[in-house]
Structure 1
């Protein structure tokens, strides 16, 4: 039987790490780069009375979908190579039809899914995440999502240490050269409170600013919990969002033992959303609080394999091969 890995051609080291772990167990992995469909990858889905045949062809290698034992839904970029010189309406129609085709293919696969797409989409709702986390007894930051400038000013008075602002979505804009500009978490300054009219065009999420001893990244795979910590406060540019200095902090991550009660509640959170995989961000405050920020159901993990050496890819392979 074969593990199908759904991703795109520009994905990072996570893919070969998991493929190697699968092959080390004597099993097969088949990589499907969704950005190559429909321009380079072929899919034949055939149904007739008493007969069906679903074949995926990549670089002349054919995979019968009935042979798939497990699916790892990692990344998706369906139709991105459809020529942009096409009429915009026709191109959008082609992308939409391609998406529906592949999503139907994924749903029809009877093997184990890490994780089912509906579960991922539900878990991506960060407002629901905070609600469930609170109900489970996890410590969460005071949070306001709004398009109301007056509500922000009132909220600012509640945040004694100040407040930060961030997006609920993975928001990015692109410059004239096509370079991605990610919107990171930022500190809200006093002068910003007098310039909030943009909220009427785009709501934003505000949270109380918390003092940080460490920032934690907890990766859950099945019932296994892996946690690493970094002191982001040593780097001035990373104080509000360690991702700004991700490369500079690459070798600064260390093993961290998360308290048992926090691990238990995080596993309950995963169970609520029906997830087998999640990357969770937590703040450790100077007074010892473990404050839950969010869970990313398809979050990155590859850098933690190098430092501090968490065997996450092996754990993913084991779940895919044994579930």
Structure 2
């Protein structure tokens, strides 16, 4: 069994963890750092009568992609090493064409895919996540997504404990020195409610402020559910977003047992989106509510394995190696991405 891991050269410890797990189980793992394409890695895609070849060549190896039995799509940074001094329009065209080439390559690999790219993109819609979670009976926070200041003020008046603001997409802002400033979840103060003019340029997501007994991170791999918990409220700087103090809290994560009913509903959520992998954020309130926040279809997990002893990389390796036997990508397209069929059916009905 040969597994292709699609990532970039700056990815974290999760890659060697999974590669070692694959090797320990008798498989072979190949790493494709997408930031090295097209400047350092070559791809030959050849179609002719009775012949089809997809060959990926790096400095150390030449890989026939027809021999790949499973694919783990983890991260991409295609074209990032194309020289920045290149004429901007030409550089953008090069990145766009490189991206189209690699995305076509990924879609063309006939082995098992831990998660198909269309399913990942579909599942990244956080508005839809909340809708589906509610329909499945999961507890979710009161939420408002808007560019209307009046709606925000009304929403704030309805939330007795106050509200927080966050973004639907993950991004960072870079200062003049090039330092990364990640946009975290923040409380909305009374003064902020009088300064909402910026919404006309960018909508935001507002949610009720929930009291936290613990913050949970649930990682689902296939049918296995791994959950860890942290008391983020023990650190004043992590009150609204534990990621602000991720390093300081890294040793504080402990394994946690979710109620079986919550696990069942989370697995149903994953099935809806056609995912084998997802990292889910949950708040446990002091009165025992498990409140679903979101699922990241390619979310991080390595610190949970290292500090909470959750065998997530082993589970990923097992799914990649065992499910490769089923060769799901040889199934008809309607069986491979059922969630998208459901989505388009709903669009036609409406």
As a proportion of its length, which structure holds more helix? Answer: 2
**Other-structure match for 2:26:** 26
Alpha-carbon distance in 1 for matches of 2:77, 2:236: 35
Q: CA RMSD in A?
A: 0.6
Count of matched residue pairs: 323
**Other-structure match for 1:247:** 247
Superposed counterparts of 1:1-323, under 5 Å: 1-323=1-323
Moved over 6 A (4+): none
Deviation at 1:206, TM superposition (A): 0.2
Deviation at 1:177, TM superposition (A): 2.5
> What's the TM-score, normalizing by structure 1?
0.99
Deviation at 1:58, TM superposition (A): 1.5
Alpha-carbon distance in 2 for matches of 1:21, 1:224: 16
Alpha-carbon distance in 1 for matches of 2:107, 2:206: 36
Alpha-carbon distance in 2 for matches of 1:320, 1:261: 27
Alpha-carbon distance in 2 for matches of 1:177, 1:35: 23
The secondary structure found in structure 1 opposite 2:287 is: coil
Alignment gaps of 5+ in structure 2:
324-350
Alpha-carbon distance in 2 for matches of 1:291, 1:197: 31
The secondary structure found in structure 2 opposite 1:307 is: helix
Deviation at 1:178, TM superposition (A): 2.0
Alpha-carbon distance in 2 for matches of 1:97, 1:130: 34
Alpha-carbon distance in 2 for matches of 1:39, 1:48: 26
Deviation at 1:27, TM superposition (A): 1.1
Greater mean deviation of Cα atoms: 46-55 or 100-109:
46-55
Alpha-carbon distance in 1 for matches of 2:22, 2:5: 11
Deviation at 1:145, TM superposition (A): 0.4
The secondary structure found in structure 2 opposite 1:262 is: helix
Deviation at 1:114, TM superposition (A): 1.4
Alignment gaps of 5+ in structure 1:
none
Alpha-carbon distance in 2 for matches of 1:78, 1:155: 41
